[in-house]
Chains A and B, each alone.
Chain A
Amino acid sequence: MVEESRVTTAFGRFSGHVAKGLAYLVMVVFAIMTIYPLFWLAMSSFKSTREYQLNMLGLPKTWVFDNFKMAWDFGEFGKLFPNSIIYTAGTTLGVILLSVLAGFAFAKIPSRATKWIYGSFVIGILLTLNSLMIPLFIEVNVLGIYNTRFAVLLVYIGAGLPIGIYLATEYIKAIPTALIESARIDGAGYFRIFRRIVLPMSIPVATTLAILNITGTWNEFALINILVSKTDLKSLPLGIYKFSGSLSTDYGKQFAALTIGMAPMILFYVVFRKQITKGVAAGAVKG
């Protein structure tokens, strides 16, 4: 009720109603434009290819669940899901651990090197790895780690580090130095301080990093596309890409594959929406 009165005063009574109606119109139109294609995709995935061609826009008349089984088998999703989980979990944990460790060093241990090392990470925030995929591909081949999980994790962690280290360092700077100094006086080493004080206090920034890396890694395509070619090592987006091209006329199967591909993230989003939007806003920093 308070909100309402504020808006009425915000625009005056009559123009307030007009502005409000207009605002609702804008929001409703764009919300439908956003959600309808996804809804349409989900509905189409329950139609046979024949029904899709005859009834493209309506709800399924007969709900076909076979599409999902066929897509699952053809796409070898049974292999892709574990891989995606390994890459996402490994990257997220790796980035958090390395970032908080280095962030502690940069923020609380004085050193002349900080300016250079930390500075190079900050520049890296704007360097997007996609433009470097060809040299990365060559490097991975030279190192003999093409087609390995190690290479994927290495590249993903490296890609996540600049923003991770920036956020962790800025966050840890705000931890009172007195807290660390008194632990030092009590004889604690830096690693003990890290475990006992810094790491527990960094849970909020670690959550932000987890959000950024989980959404980023799960959906990543461009880099893993040049890092692995074996099905056993592929992630979900690579597997879904298989459904373009030759299968693009086998609509039922293709839509089922796309639906399988988007379902986990939508679920994740429904559960963690607040944390995700907060994390994204925090992670969108300039260099």
Chain B
Amino acid sequence: MTKAKRIDREAGRAYWMMSLPAFLVYLLVMAFPIALSVVLSVSNYSGGKMFGGEAWGFAGFGQYARIVQDPWFWNALKNNFYIVLISVFGQLPLGFIFAYIIYRRIVKWPGFWQGILYLPNIISIIVVGLLWQSIFSPNGPIAELVNLSARHQFEIKLVAVLGSQGHLNLGDDALSRIIALGGPQAANMFTNPVPELRDLIAGYQPNQYSQLLNDLTNLFVTRWTPDFLNQKNVAMLPVLFVILWMYTGMYLILFLANMQKIDTQIIESARIDGANEAQVMRHIILPALSGTIVNSAILAISGSLSSFALIFALTGGGPSRITEILSIYMYNNAFLGRPNFPLANAIALITVVISMLLILVTKAFESRYGGKEE
């Protein structure tokens, strides 16, 4: 055997010994599940032992037809699409603006702003989901803030009509104005509003003035208990808000890192030659970032189609399935009620295909219109 051949053999052995472990793990975790979902999606496998258990076999493409006809599939897909939209038209532009402000040193302390705005990204999605669930709850801080302010407004008006401690104005006119402050439901509390209210107020000692104010406020100001996450027509909005809140900093980091690759001398000399800030943006920064923008859009798409935990924790897909996304639609079909594994696997496959298609479209868009990158 020649020396060259021996070296080739040694190189070949080293190549495989180094790359095979990674490749095997990859096959097991990525490739095999895809193959499995292809098989199971056209089968009648119903859980249990795959080999040696209940017999199962080919059952046709019925699951795919079923999915396409299921309005909940389209609902979930629509929600995924909203997430893509809020990412591409919310997070990306906002992140870009922040990055630009920091990059051009329009504000001081670049690290400080960057540090704060990226913070939500490193917190567990489950923590974020449960945190915002509390914030949006009917008795949460948002409702509380509105209620406190409503009470405060009411008390100011009440004092203006009722008078100060020891100088109460209990004339018919004043009392009916107080009832008017409370709105229509206040009048409905009494059969004979003005005298009844006078009796009520008369029941308080002069030194119980603040108690009186407090009780009247409680009586007349109804608590606002908005259930943002449980109203069918609005539940998706808080979800999208939280997504915006959580991930905008991510795009700030991406844009800033790539802006910092731009040679500052180009910008400086453009400025000296009389270019204004808008021209610098249009002719230097934007072209230099076009690749990053496309890349971020791809990340947003694949991130959206794979998101699961945030909505799982925040709404669980409710109220009555309205905030389901594809991954939760799939999860529920596999684990809620009677498991339907063929259906869930068909959804998995459809999700993978949609995600790949969207990315291909984005990349085609890039090669067609994309500027110079890297």
Inter-subunit contact B119/A240 (CB<8 Å) = no
Inter-subunit contact A139/B104 (CB<8 Å) = no
Inter-subunit contact B127/A131 (CB<8 Å) = no
Contact pattern, B 140-153, Cβ under 8 Å of A = 1, otherwise 0: 11001100100000
Beta-carbon contacts under 8 Å, A170-206 to B: 184, 189-191, 194
Determine the distance from Cα of A26 to Cα of B113 in the docked complex, in whole angstroms. 11
Residues of B in contact with A (beta carbons under 8 Å apart): 7, 10-12, 14-19, 21-23, 25-26, 28-34, 36-37, 40, 50-51, 94, 97-98, 101, 104-108, 111, 113-127, 130-135, 137, 139-141, 144-145, 148, 245, 248-250, 253-254, 256-258, 271, 277, 294-296, 298-299, 302-303, 305-309, 312-313, 326-327, 330-331, 334, 341, 344-345, 347-348, 351-352, 355-356, 359, 363
A/B pair count, beta carbons within 8 Å: 295
Determine the distance from Cα of A56 to Cα of B16 in the docked complex, in whole angstroms. 61
**A276 touches B (CB below 8 Å):** yes
Inter-subunit contact A41/B131 (CB<8 Å) = yes
30 chain-A/chain-B pairs, Cβ below 8 angstroms: A10-B271, A23-B101, A31-B117, A40-B141, A101-B19, A102-B23, A120-B26, A120-B31, A127-B352, A131-B327, A131-B351, A132-B348, A134-B37, A134-B334, A136-B33, A138-B345, A139-B28, A157-B29, A158-B25, A158-B29, A190-B14, A218-B124, A248-B134, A254-B130, A266-B123, A274-B111, A276-B118, A276-B122, A280-B253, A281-B257
Most B CB contacts (10 A, CB to CB) among A53, A138, A194 go to A138
Question: Given that A154-B25, A222-B309 are known contacts, is A127 also in contact with B122, CB under 8 Å in the complex?
Answer: no
Inter-subunit contact A38/B33 (CB<8 Å) = no
Kindly provide the distance from the CB of B6 to the nearest chain A CB, expressed in whole angstroms: 12
Contact pattern, A 38-71, Cβ under 8 Å of B = 1, otherwise 0: 1011000000000001001100000000000000
Inter-subunit contact B122/A265 (CB<8 Å) = yes
User: Which A-chain residue is minimally distant from B39 (CB atoms)?
Assistant: A135
Residues of A in contact with B (beta carbons under 8 Å apart): 3, 6-7, 9-11, 19-20, 23-24, 26-27, 30-31, 33-35, 37-38, 40-41, 53, 56-57, 98-99, 101-102, 104-106, 109-111, 113, 117, 120-121, 124, 126-139, 141-142, 154-155, 157-159, 161-162, 165, 184, 189-191, 194, 215, 218-219, 221-222, 225, 236-237, 240-241, 243-244, 248, 251, 254-255, 258, 261-262, 265-266, 268-269, 273-274, 276-278, 280-282, 284-287
Kindly provide the distance from the CB of A266 to the nearest chain B CB, expressed in whole angstroms: 7
